[in-house]
Amino acid sequence: MSKTVNLKIDGVNVEVPEGYTILDAAYKAGIKIPTLCYMKDLNAIGACRLCLVEVEGARSYLAACVTTVSEGMVVNTNTPALRKSRQKTLELILSNHRTDCLSCARNTNCELQTLCHENNVDMDRFGRSNLEPDIDDSAVHLIRDNSKCILCRRCVAACSVNQHVAVIGPTKRGYDTHIGSAFGDPLDATSCIHCGQCIVVCPVGALTEKDESEQVWAALADPTKHVIAAPAPSVRVQLGECFGMPIGTNVHGKLPAALRRMGFDSIFDVDTAADLTIMEEGTELLDRINNGGVLPLITSCSPGWIKFCEYYFPEFIPNLSSCKSPQQMMGSVSKTYFAEKQGIDPKDIFVVSIMPCTAKKFEKTRAGQSASGYPDIDAVLTTRELANMIKRANIIFDKLPDEDFDPVFGMASGAAHIFGATGGVMEAALRTVSEILTGDDAPKIDFSEVRGTKGIKEAEYDLAGIKVKVAVTSGLENAHQLLTMIKNGEKEYHFIEVMACPGGCVNGGGQPIQPSFVTNNLNLRHTRAMGLYNQDAGMQLRKSIDNPVMNELYDTYFGKPGSHKAHEILHTTYVEREIY
């Protein structure tokens, strides 16, 4: 049994496990200590000084996020002196922060703004509305404005600790300290993999995605364009958060209803393309196992991971599945199969994908992503961008009736729905591959061993006498560790799923931003993922191979999975990249 510690916080007796910080103990006592730089398991540096507390016997204030509790400790978190200290700290932060709050993308969802309100700090008095913007918009996926940066270093920790990339950090000293890349290079001159994890941890508006909504509005207003909306699997369990709905709420029916009211001509479900991905990727896996192909096969759905592999592990490029991601497959079939079926010139089709991921904005620009002769995808909206567009369209989202996606690409299996959670692609593939190998129409459905938010998961399955070893990882620091073990001969697998973002797409760089108080005290990744798994569990159609749309596509268009035509339209190639 672990040891416990007894202490008193604001007059409340608290018993907590040994090793807890004052911040953890206060939460257990029902007391919220304000923080700005702290992110659980990511950034505990005591830099912002907002979590300072009084501890009897201590000679100075202590930072609650990094101070471990001790037996008999007496802590005060809300004395007049502490309230004055927090006000002064916020005023100093504001004195070097550009406060264009009304036009800022993070207005009403800014942790600095909230803390100023809670601590009765006048933002107009101390803020710098006249401060000149300091912008780097060189990258394809985001904009950084250092005039709004508060030097909390949460973005730096996300980039280095979670993602291994470490292309940003504090430079210079004193008043001149700012976040940037080595040698003052713009972000697009670095090995950035566009994951956007820096955006979702930023407490203010210093980091935002590049908004493509105006391009979409223009396409919707163009009578010559057939505009297709294509939302990804995980979007349906995050979008509701933007409208005050509980975290993890599945808005599968409200999503097409909103898109229809915005004026989209066709509303397709990228989950259908996820099923198509499994048909191609599962066939590729079986071909490599049976014919001595390069193993392990590694999934290719996550563009941040793909670019990471091209930069840091180019020797594994032959291991990558040649399948396009579900986003790109949806664009490909929309401008080939659908265009031919409807008699529409592909140049007049404008495909808008709605993604949890800022790296998708980069992916659509890659070579080999134009199956029809035109880009597979024309615009990428993050979940946040779509929510803002719905609000601008004056749609009362939470009151919408549930509606269906358009039938051409509107049917998907439960296996496709779970793509948004780490382990989901692996489980979806195993469901179909096991049926093909065993010839059983009701093989094992739930592969729970690959579920969950653990950084690296391993399993071994006996599929018709073939021992298939698999691994699942998310977060690129975890991917780095796993691939290094494989390089060193310590591990051996047949199939590996990699997601760039910790927890998978449910925690993508384009998802709704929750304040650190929520992310520090709730397993956000698990809660969101459960919305997908619950939808899967309630479905009759749970395997990609059983989706009737797949039968239609292969019977009338592709011939069979892995055919020459399928390779021309649904597959791609990768390149080795130089690390900067």
pLDDT in tens, 368-414: 999 999 999 999 999 999 999 999 999 999 999 999 999 999 999 99
Is residue 521 in a domain? no
Is residue 154 in a domain? no
- Domain of residue 385, CATH code: 3.40.50.1780
- Total domain count, the chain: 2
pLDDT in tens, 58-106: 999 999 999 999 999 999 999 999 999 999 999 999 999 999 999 999 9
Is residue 18 in a domain? yes
Residue ranges making up the domain that contains 247: 217-271+329-409
Find the DSSP H helices in 335-494.
339-342, 359-363, 383-392, 414-417, 424-438, 476-487
What is the reported pLDDT for 445? Answer: 87
CA distances for 317 relative to 313, 320, 487, angstroms: 7, 5, 13
One DSSP character per residue, 181-214 reads: -GGG--GGGTT-----HHHHH-SSSSEEE---HH
Q: Express as a percent the part of the chain with pLDDT over 90.
A: 94
Domain termination site, one of 409, 432, 447: 409
Is residue 246 in a domain? yes
pLDDT in tens, 170-199: 999 888 999 999 999 999 999 999 999 999
Give residue 209's pLDDT band: very low, low, confident or very high (50, 70, 90). very high
Which of 90, 345, 339, 381 has its CA nearest to residue 230?
381
- Measured between alpha carbons, how far is 309 from 315 in angstroms, rounded to an integer? 8
What is the reported pLDDT for 464? Answer: 83
Report which DSSP code applies to 512. P
- Measured between alpha carbons, how far is 412 from 539 in angstroms, rounded to an integer? 10
What is the reported pLDDT for 230? Answer: 98
CA distances for 502 relative to 158, 163, 420, 552, angstroms: 10, 8, 12, 35
What is the reported pLDDT for 88? Answer: 97
Asked if pLDDT for residue 348 goes beyond 80, the answer is yes
- Measured between alpha carbons, how far is 453 from 445 in angstroms, rounded to an integer? 20
Q: How many helices (H) and strands (E) does the chain have?
A: 21, 18
Give residue 437's pLDDT band: very low, low, confident or very high (50, 70, 90). confident
What is the reported pLDDT for 440? Answer: 75
Whole-number average pLDDT of the chain: 96
pLDDT in tens, 125-157: 888 888 999 999 999 999 999 999 999 999 999
Asked if pLDDT for residue 451 goes beyond 70, the answer is yes
**278, two tokens:** 């499994």
Is residue 33 in a domain? yes
Is residue 38 in a domain? yes
Is residue 59 in a domain? yes
Identity of the residue numbered 174: G
What is the reported pLDDT for 1? Answer: 59
Asked if pLDDT for residue 516 goes beyond 80, the answer is yes
pLDDT in tens, 275-297: 999 999 999 999 999 999 999 99
Asked if pLDDT for residue 264 goes beyond 90, the answer is yes
CB distance 94 to 116 below 8 Å: yes
Distance of CA 488 to the CA centre of its chain: 30
Q: Express as a percent the part of the chain with pLDDT over 70.
A: 99
The residues facing 497 across adjacent strands are: 472
What is the reported pLDDT for 175? Answer: 86
Buried-state track 326-350, b at ≥16 Cβ within 10 A, e below 16: bbbbbbbbbbbbbbeeeebebeebb
Asked if pLDDT for residue 541 goes beyond 70, the answer is yes
Asked if pLDDT for residue 438 goes beyond 90, the answer is no
Domain termination site, one of 59, 78, 97: 78
Domain termination site, one of 32, 62, 78: 78
Is residue 575 in a domain? no
Work out whether the CA dihedral 136, 137, 143, 147 comes out positive or negative. Answer: positive
What is the reported pLDDT for 56? Answer: 96
pLDDT in tens, 191-201: 999 999 999 99
Lowest mean pLDDT among 252-261, 274-283, 302-311, 434-443: 434-443
Lowest mean pLDDT among 122-126, 206-210, 541-545: 122-126
Asked if pLDDT for residue 442 goes beyond 70, the answer is no
- Domain of residue 17, CATH code: 3.10.20.740
The residues facing 495 across adjacent strands are: 297, 470
Cα distance from N-terminal residue to C-terminal residue, the chain? 49
